[in-house]
Amino acid sequence: MATATARAAPRAGILARPVAPMGIWSWLTTIDHKRIGILYELTAFIFFLIGGLEALLMRSQLVQPDNTLLGPGQYNALFTMHGTTMIFLVVMPLSAAFFNYIVPLQIGARDVAFPRLNAFSYWVFLSGGVLMNLGFLIGAVPDMGWFAYSPLTSSQFSPSVGVDFWVVGLQVLGVASLAAAFNFLVTIIQMRAPGLSFMRMPLFTWTTFVTSILIVLAFPVIAVALIELMFDRLFGSTFFNVTPAAAGAAAAGGDPILWQHLFWVFAHPEVYILILPAMGIVSEVVPVFSRKPLFGYPFMVYAVVSIAFLSFTVWAHHMFTTGLSAIAMSFFAASTMLIAVPTGIKIFNWISTLYGGSIALKAPAMFALGFIAMFTIGGLSGVMHASPPVDTQQQDTYFVVAHLHYVLFGGSIFALFAGIYYWWPKITGRLLGDGLGQLQFWLMFIGFNLTFGPMHFLGVDGMPRRVYTYSPGMGWELWNVVATIGAFVIGVSVLVFIFNAFKSLRTGERAGDDPWDGMTLEWTIPSPPPHYNFVEIPTVAGRNPLWLQKHPELAGRHVPGADPIATDTGHSGSEGSGAESHDGHHAVHVPDPSYWPLFAGAGIFVAGFGVLLSAGGNLSLLAVTGVGLFIVIVSIFGWSLEPVNEPVQA
Amino acid sequence: MQQVASAPPAHPPTHVEEPSTGLNNRKVLMWAFLGSDCMFFGALIVSYLVYRGRWQGHPVPTDVFDIPYTSVSAFALLMSSLAMVLALAAIQRGDIRRLKIWLLTTAGLGLVFIGGQIFEFTTFGHEGLTLGGNTGGTTFFVLTGFHGAHVSLGIAWLLSLFVQAVRGQMAQARSLDVEIAGLYWHFVDIVWIIIFTVVYLIPI
Amino acid sequence: MSAHQPEHAHPGAQQYITIAAILTFITLVEVSVYYIAALRPVLLPVLVVLSAGKFALVVMYYMHLKFDNRLFSGMFLFGLATALFTAIAFIFLFHLLQPRFVT
């Protein structure tokens, strides 16, 4: 731990340190967790619009039987990119935006543990998102579904380089997610304010913590699966190839089911990576807007942790129709039913929090309530799939499409909008219009249910998913029209949000530090927060520290007696606004900007691009990948030689 | 925590931030990474195991294995772990001369291992075991190849520490840098302990 | 999490060398049992136990988990346990429960 005093920048290193406080370079070289959070938010929202347009195109194609708006190939490309975009480029980075912006504020820190690694995560995420979508420019779009089932992905059946864009893009996105997850894991373990023990952490911080664990353990598996697929396609290995490499050669002997297992070992925890942050946001919003502490806080925490354990034991319920043995099906059916228990506990705890509360139906609360209702429906249709015979009936029908959208749209996206309305004033200093927020909520809620509710019926009526059109007379016409109308209503609701956002930025009501009478540390500091966040690192005396200070009677209701105010330090109720100041060594954890994360991210982009160039068959173009990796290595050296602080031997 | 910077001039905040646990950030990061890397190598080893006994055609890995040869290179890697902890013990005592010796020994034994692997891959290739020949070759080369890549990265890391030691930049206070590099190095070693048993010795 | 446990109660060079001797011995035993035909039927469990022993020795003594903060053990063992569970599940799924490939 250095004891640093103010000193002149720039300092030693290969490049002079960027110093501009504003302007484009200050954003390109920023390592401030708040700015990185905003970059994540904006980038993810642009991808949200792209993914939404892809969905609207698909719904337009399906509005009537035998429609010819899209061909089958275009439709395949659209559902592949819609799924991939919404999962990896929208819900995950929108969650990451809140991890970045909110978690350091909630734990009373001035930044994350590794600020430059954090900037690196963002640039690598952007590289992966661009690489994934580059195929649109040359007309080679991934078109094998977001799950990329083998053997459809083999060179034989997918000769186009579209699959390679998906493989490389996802691999790069995985690097970004892993870097970010390691960072938040260490940040939450290491940088909590004094007194903020694990069982006092806000639920959103808890879900960030557990989500990071899931990313850290699940993404290496998809990394291996993607490496194997890349080797199959580029270098002729036989991980998933069934057919011989050349005429007359022996059968390759690859097993396509191996891909499915590896993919779902990753992708089922991924489902919880998408929903846990949403649950965390709702667990913040519901108590504040019902003016009651979260009901059953310890059980909420245990539920999140047990979901983390169980999520690695359920993957094969996505594969009940692949011919698993009876014992395996029984195991995965039982574990799937078991994981519904902690999920149910959370729903009951939110409802119990609402019960008896004085509920303020502001926009964040509306979206949170919408989440609880829609997620419950999606959760129930999910438990249905735990039963192998039922699942076999519903496999690959629109029923599954309905289920997953109730969980990921009715769940994650509604909760993320709750978070946007809740934390927007903290981020921008201005409130979003509540009237427009209510309008957006109702448009989105009605549009969502019009779109995905009927898909339950379509699925039970046997309409298959991932098929670009259908014949008249199947009884599917009505509900497809309804679903398409609903999709456009959702589109309008998003336009309302964009209007609301611009209006708020120009003329929105000033928020002040604490517009919602919040209970966590981020509401103790100005909106928007100064770049060092906290003038003094707060000392936390219990759960819901700000309520402990403002409304001890509110916070006390469900906080055990063992949590009196400021037992640890004697700074009674002094979080944020307290006047105590430890004299002696003063140092601030506000690191300076750096070019290196940007350069390293660019190097990864070049490396991925090199793989794509060589995917056409010319492996010598892998030299471009070599150049990219060289840029990464140079950047890492520049990174480690650039002092972030004065030498330790002070 | 090494990331401390100049105070903003207008509002000089106070309080030194101590890590909540009293542990070092980078060491926590390294252990999280190693937990994660368990899943990485787990998936690669599992890919090998899934096909074991279902290989089609010849040669398959067990046809070409040379157990005495691989035992020697496995032993070299095992002994490099000893050299690594001796390097750590040296810097913890402030003995930079022995630190240099043991770092170089560790990297050297790692190079012996990598050289052995290159020779082994070449020999197997001549005997007909190829990346695309059958699932045995595919899973064997990718698993051991990625382990080799981890070892190579570790050698580069150790050599960069060695260069810093030669240039007089290592001191007792930086023992944590050696310890963290060592954690990575030992992990690569224990992965090979598993690979050596599961891939080479167990005869199913 | 028990904070502020000693982070640097590491063993000395003498103990490191003792561990290395044990590791060498186990490796010799491993390679030897591989060549003893009489042990073929029990080779699998014997090798698994021996290599698990080597693994544990390196992790506990060379990586200091035996002496270090328990948080580190938790982080590593959680990853290791998840990987082991997944690996064992794959062996069941592909080999033991349902041998779907007959060559």
Q: Establish if C97 belongs to a structural domain.
A: yes
Q: Establish if C100 belongs to a structural domain.
A: yes
Give ipTM to 2 decimals: 0.91
Q: Determine whether the interchain pair B50/C51 forms a contact, defined as Cβ–Cβ distance below 8 Å.
A: no
Residue A454: is the preceding peptide bond cis (ω within 30°)? no
Give the Cα separation of A165 and A153 in Å (integer): 12
Q: Are A612 and A531 members of one domain?
A: no
Q: Determine whether the interchain pair B15/A2 forms a contact, defined as Cβ–Cβ distance below 8 Å.
A: no
- Answer yes or no: is pLDDT of A9 > 80: no
Closest Cβ–Cβ partner in A213, A221, A327 for C97: A327
- Answer yes or no: is pLDDT of A24 > 50: yes
Chain C: closest CA distance from residue B46 (Å): 6
Residue numbers of C between 58 and 97 with CB closer than 8 Å to A: 71, 78-79, 82, 85-86, 90, 92-94, 97
Task: Provide the token pair at A212.
Answer: 């990071």
B159 close contact with A: CB closer than 8 A? no
Q: Are C39 and C80 members of one domain?
A: no
Q: Are C92 and C46 members of one domain?
A: no
Between A456 and A27, where is the model more confident?
A456
Task: Provide the token pair at A627.
Answer: 């150049």
Chain C: closest CA distance from residue B135 (Å): 13
Q: Establish if A480 belongs to a structural domain.
A: yes
Q: Establish if C1 belongs to a structural domain.
A: no
Per-residue pLDDT band at A588 (split at 50, 70, 90): low
Bridge partners of A397?
A: A464
**Using one digit for the tens of pLDDT, what is the confidence trace for A466-487?**
999 999 999 999 999 999 999 9
- The residues spanned by each domain of chain B are 25-201
Task: Provide the token pair at A232.
Answer: 């199959």
Q: Determine whether the interchain pair A110/B55 forms a contact, defined as Cβ–Cβ distance below 8 Å.
A: no
**Using one digit for the tens of pLDDT, what is the confidence trace for A253-291?**
888 999 999 999 999 999 999 999 999 999 999 999 999
Give backbone dihedrals phi and psi of A231, rounded to 5 degrees, phi first: -65, -40
Give the Cα separation of B73 and B114 in Å (integer): 9
Nearest chain B residue to A184 by CA: give it. Answer: B29
Q: Determine whether the interchain pair B134/A236 forms a contact, defined as Cβ–Cβ distance below 8 Å.
A: no
What is the number of domains present in chain A?
A: 2
B176 close contact with C: CB closer than 8 A? no
Q: Are A429 and A318 members of one domain?
A: yes
**Using one digit for the tens of pLDDT, what is the confidence trace for B49-66?**
999 988 888 888 989 999
**Using one digit for the tens of pLDDT, what is the confidence trace for A522-572?**
999 999 999 889 888 888 988 888 898 888 877 654 444 434 333 333 333
Q: Are C30 and C73 members of one domain?
A: no
Per-residue pLDDT band at A17 (split at 50, 70, 90): low
Q: Are A155 and A92 members of one domain?
A: yes
Q: Determine whether the interchain pair C93/A189 forms a contact, defined as Cβ–Cβ distance below 8 Å.
A: no
Q: Are A573 and A504 members of one domain?
A: yes
Q: Are C14 and C62 members of one domain?
A: yes
Q: Are C88 and C47 members of one domain?
A: no
Closest Cβ–Cβ partner in C86, C97, C101 for A265: C86
Chain A: closest CA distance from residue B201 (Å): 23
Chain A residues with CB under 8 Å of B17 CB are 109-110, 191, 537, 587, 589
Its domain, for residue A622, covers 595-642
What is the number of domains present in chain C?
A: 2
Nearest chain B residue to A585 by CA: give it. Answer: B16
Bridge partners of A207?
A: none
Q: Are C17 and C27 members of one domain?
A: yes
The CATH number assigned to the domain holding A287 equals 1.20.210.10
Q: Establish if A372 belongs to a structural domain.
A: yes
Give the Cα separation of A613 and A628 in Å (integer): 13
Mutation target vs C (from B193, B194, B195, B202; most C CBs, 10 A cutoff)? B193
**Using one digit for the tens of pLDDT, what is the confidence trace for A297-316?**
999 999 999 998 899 999 99
pLDDT of residue B21: 81
Q: Are C58 and C20 members of one domain?
A: yes
Mean pLDDT of A591-597: 83
Q: What is the pLDDT along chain B (204 residues), one digit of tens a residue?
A: 333 333 333 443 444 456 778 889 999 999 999 999 999 999 999 999 999 988 888 888 989 999 999 999 999 999 999 999 999 999 999 999 999 999 999 999 999 999 999 999 999 999 999 998 889 999 999 999 999 999 999 999 999 999 999 999 898 889 999 999 999 999 999 999 999 999 999 876
Chain C: closest CA distance from residue A330 (Å): 12
Give the Cα separation of B116 and B113 in Å (integer): 5
Q: Are A504 and A624 members of one domain?
A: no
Q: Are A531 and A393 members of one domain?
A: yes
8 A C-beta contact, residue B53 and residue B59 = no
Closest Cβ–Cβ partner in A217, A316, A325 for C79: A217
What are the contacts of A22-25 at 24+ separation with CB within 8 A? none
Q: Are C62 and C76 members of one domain?
A: no
Q: Determine whether the interchain pair B28/C72 forms a contact, defined as Cβ–Cβ distance below 8 Å.
A: yes
Residue type, A640: S
Q: Establish if C2 belongs to a structural domain.
A: no
8 A C-beta contact, residue A294 and residue A300 = yes
pLDDT of residue A13: 58
Task: Provide the token pair at B24.
Answer: 């070092």
Mean pLDDT of A185-191: 95
pLDDT of residue A156: 85
Q: Are A75 and A224 members of one domain?
A: yes
Q: Establish if A622 belongs to a structural domain.
A: yes
Give backbone dihedrals phi and psi of A397, rounded to 5 degrees, phi first: -110, 175
Closest Cβ–Cβ partner in B9, B16, B23 for A190: B23
Q: Determine whether the interchain pair C12/B53 forms a contact, defined as Cβ–Cβ distance below 8 Å.
A: no
Q: Are A377 and A446 members of one domain?
A: yes
8 A C-beta contact, residue A622 and residue A633 = no
Which residue matches tokens 């699932």?
Answer: B135
Chain C residues with CB under 8 Å of A217 CB are 78-79, 82
Architecture per CATH, domain B25-201, reads as: Up-down Bundle (1.20)
Closest Cβ–Cβ partner in B34, B53, B193 for C76: B34
Within 10 A of B199 (CB to CB), how many other CB atoms are there? 22
Q: What is the DSSP string of A513-581?
A: S-TT---SGGGGS-SSPPTT--SS-----SSSHHHHHH-HHHHHTTS-TT--TTTTTS-TT-TTT----
Q: Establish if A82 belongs to a structural domain.
A: yes
Its domain, for residue C89, covers 69-103
Q: For chain A, how many residues are written?
A: 650
Bridge partners of A479?
A: none
Between C57 and A586, where is the model more confident?
C57
Q: Establish if A6 belongs to a structural domain.
A: no
Residue numbers of B between 142 and 171 with CB closer than 8 Å to C: none
pLDDT of residue A593: 83
Q: What is the DSSP string of A616-647?
A: TS-GGGHHHHHHHHHHHHHHHHHHHHS-SSS-
